[in-house]
Amino acid sequence: MVGISSELLKVLVCPVTKQKLVYDRDAQELISLAAGLSFPIIDGVPIMLVDEAKTVHPVKLKKLMDAQNSNSQNTAEECSVKSA
């Protein structure tokens, strides 16, 4: 599994809302909590195309929001949440 650099995570934003993203290392995706979308990371490259995004399951979205509320220090938070 190829990681993504912390510098890149700090500058990436959701292409829909322009809000910060949450990095899910296990799922290898960047998640926009504001849009409820996840953008895949393939071979360390985030695919920030809306056409490639998937809708995040509401249960997972709530868990990520709760995790971010308890730990909101970085521009792109790293979370590990089991899929619903």
Residue 42 maps to which CATH number? Answer: 2.20.25.10
The answer to the question of residue 23 being in a domain is: yes
Q: Could you give the C-alpha distances from 7 to 4, 11, 12, 58, 67, in angstroms and in order?
A: 9, 7, 9, 29, 21
pLDDT band at 68 (very low <50, low <70, confident <90, very high): confident
The answer to the question of residue 84 being in a domain is: no
Q: What is the pLDDT of residue 70?
A: 83
Q: Which residues pair with 45 in a beta bridge?
A: 42
Average of per-residue pLDDT across 64-78: 69
Q: What is the Cα–Cα distance from 37 to 34, expressed in whole angstroms?
A: 8
Full domain range(s) for residue 67: 6-79
Confidence check: pLDDT of 75 > 50: no
Tens-digit pLDDT profile for residues 2-28: 778 889 989 999 999 999 999 999 999
Average of per-residue pLDDT values in the chain: 85
Q: What is the Cα–Cα distance from 66 to 61, expressed in whole angstroms?
A: 9
The answer to the question of residue 1 being in a domain is: no
Number of domains in the chain: 1
